Amino acid sequence: MSLSDGDMAAIWLTLRLATTVTLLLLIVGTPIAWWLARTRSWLKGPIGAIVALPLVLPPTVLGFYLLIAMGPNGPVGQLTQTLGLGTLAFTFWGLVVASMIYSMPFVIQPIQNAMEALGDRPMEVAATLGASPWDQFFTVVLPLAKPGFITAAILGFAHTVGEFGIVLMIGGNIPGETKVVSVQIYDHVEALEYAQAHALSGSMLVFCFVVLLALYSLQRKGRPLFMTFGKRS
């Protein structure tokens, strides 16, 4: 089993993309998850639904709208052009933006669930111990929701590695820029290079299995987040 230079470039690009997307999503997603977990606003329903949309929409639909939005005449395209960045379609950063939207529910939902499971009590306890709201968030909420963050990071990363349709729509097939592993495999199959398709596909299979194995082992070891006993009043 051997991987060509093109395969290696696709692998590195995929890892770079997935890492970038995961880190950005953790930063952007945490406040959204926090808001969704805490709010009593009527907007919780609509915003929650928008966050979950990429779970059910075909990637081609998402990719199609993004392509139009990022194109020279789309709102995002016009903004980026005004800023002197050119258009995002068929670039690495265009792929990052598209992947962030595509993987968003996989990052936000585990964090939101972990934060909802905490309830109000840990923050109330911290408040009675003199912790300001920011202090409460960083010293109590983040550490207690850590398992949610780990799940979010692993799922976000793995899901970005596994995307295909949206990449084709928005990124195309530019080696070293937008040609990720899944597209590379597609190209190999199209060219009837089954040996190379096998090598790359096998690597992906092993990688995804190891990631999921790590995730599930981690969850099994999970210990109670917040020590309580007895009934709530």
Q: Contact positions toward other proteins, by CB under 8 A?
A: 121-122, 124-133, 135-136, 139-140, 143-144, 146, 223-233
Closest CB to other proteins among 2 and 128? 128
Closest CB to other proteins among 63 and 147? 147
Whole-angstrom Cα Rg for the chain: 21
Burial of 76 (C-beta count, 10 Å sphere; 0-12/13-18/19+): middle
Task: State the nearest-atom distance from the C-beta of 138 to other proteins, in Å.
Answer: 12
Burial of 81 (C-beta count, 10 Å sphere; 0-12/13-18/19+): middle
Closest CB to other proteins among 43 and 129? 129
Closest CB to other proteins among 33 and 126? 126
Closest CB to other proteins among 220 and 223? 223
Residue 38 amino acid letter: R
Which residues does 109 contact at the CB level (< 8 Å), separation at least 6? 33, 51, 52, 152
Task: State the nearest-atom distance from the C-beta of 140 to other proteins, in Å.
Answer: 6
Which residues does 50 contact at the CB level (< 8 Å), separation at least 6? none
Alpha-carbon torsion, ordered 168, 89, 180, 154, to 10 deg: -100
Measured CA to CA, the distance from residue 6 to residue 189 in angstroms comes to 14
Tokens of 106: 């996989």
**Which residue do the tokens 């051997």 mark?**
2
Task: State the nearest-atom distance from the C-beta of 192 to other proteins, in Å.
Answer: 54
Task: State the nearest-atom distance from the C-beta of 125 to other proteins, in Å.
Answer: 5
Task: State the nearest-atom distance from the C-beta of 40 to other proteins, in Å.
Answer: 10
Task: State the nearest-atom distance from the C-beta of 136 to other proteins, in Å.
Answer: 8
Closest CB to other proteins among 2 and 229? 229
